Amino acid sequence: MVQPDGSRIGTPSASGPAAPADRSIEAFIAAMPKAELHVHHVGSASPRVVAELAARHEGRARVPADPQALAEYFTFTDFAHFIEVYLSVVDLIRDAEDVRALTYGVAEDMARQNIRYAELTVTPYSSVSRGIPDVAFMEAIEDARLRAEKELGVVLRWCFDIPGEAGLAAAEETARLAVDLAPEGLVSFGLGGPEIGVPRPQFKPYFDRARAAGLRSVPHAGETTGPETVWDALRVLGAERIGHGTQAVNDPALLEHLGEHRIPLEVCPTSNIATRAVERIEDHPLKRMVDSGLLVTVNSDDPPMFGTDLNTEYAVAARLLGLDEAGVAALAKNAVEASFLDAPGKARLAGEIDAHLTRWRQH
């Protein structure tokens, strides 16, 4: 179905699919239309795509070209180690064709999960600084976006984020790319990478510039540092959504503020365990967030690197929150509400989720 802005969100047939033999909550999740708001471009490259890129650049890359070996390679000791491994995968992206292939491969994986809409976090600085011409990079992601929408029914939008570990030079370049060369699919401006030693306020001028150009503010905050980082993101960077926000539960005033202003949190449970931001899944603050009345969305972050996908993250959330199918559907609609889709697009996708729940209950 075509929205007013030209994007398509697929609509189930009136009769609906045949009744599934598997009536588990996992089967319900797998078949459910979904939106995802916190998922990284390079971090979503499947083992197959990463292995192909490693083989293509054999001799110049330290990433294993064997998909089986990647599982061990993607085992992290802490957040700093994760960043090190992540950047080694970034090093595999050497030209525009690599960008195009990676992006379409990500969309294929999303289509297999019934993800209808995703806001994919892209770090253009990492590729442009490694020699890919800026215009060629923009053309590559847009080619893949348009092809994914036409062939797979997956609507992609971009968040350009500053790699915080690269400093203010990266912030300046990311702002230039986002404002001066903005591709059609760009909707937001973010800040990723490590939080420790990378204070949020220094990035204010770049967020001001992006926001003045109409982009939405979606920085990471409160993942590996305390609630004060979330406050900085809100007060200084004008955050409209918070990436992670795990530590927000440790500040009652912050919880009240997030709830009162209905500022969404992009929660990534398995990611938080993999990077040691949270010790055990049983200790994850997701339930405290929900019980505090926050607008919580479920996301996969860097799925292949963390051995997960969005379907798995919903299953984890369902277990932690004790949700049935109706509860899972309501959680999925949070992501639609928190997205930067236009109002008709949100209504259609929320309607798809409701229709899926209705069909499930009828069988």
Please list the active-site residues: 223
Residues 133 and 193: their CA atoms lie apart, in Å, by: 23
Residue carrying the six token digits 């990035």: 203
Residue (of 336, 356, 292) closest to 32 by Cα position: 356
Q: How many CA atoms lie within 13 A of 266 on its CB side?
A: 32
Residues 358 and 82: their CA atoms lie apart, in Å, by: 41
Report yes or no: 185 and 139 within 8 Å, Cβ to Cβ. Answer: no
The separation between the first and the last C-alpha atoms of the chain, rounded to the nearest angstrom, is 26
Residue carrying the six token digits 């797998």: 30
Distances (CA, A) of 336 to 29, 144, 227, 297, 355: 15, 23, 26, 9, 15
**Cα torsion through 264, 245, 320, 18, rounded to 10:** 40
DSSP per-residue string spanning 107-163: HHHHHHTTEEEEEEEE-HHHHHTTT--HHHHHHHHHHHHHHHHHHH--EEEEEEEEE
Phi, psi (rounded to 5 degrees) for 187? -125, -20
- Per DSSP, 261 falls in state T
331 CB contacts (<8 Å, ≥6 apart)?
296, 297, 298, 314, 317, 321, 323
Count the Cβ atoms, other than its own, within 10 Å of residue 76: 18
- Per DSSP, 15 falls in state S
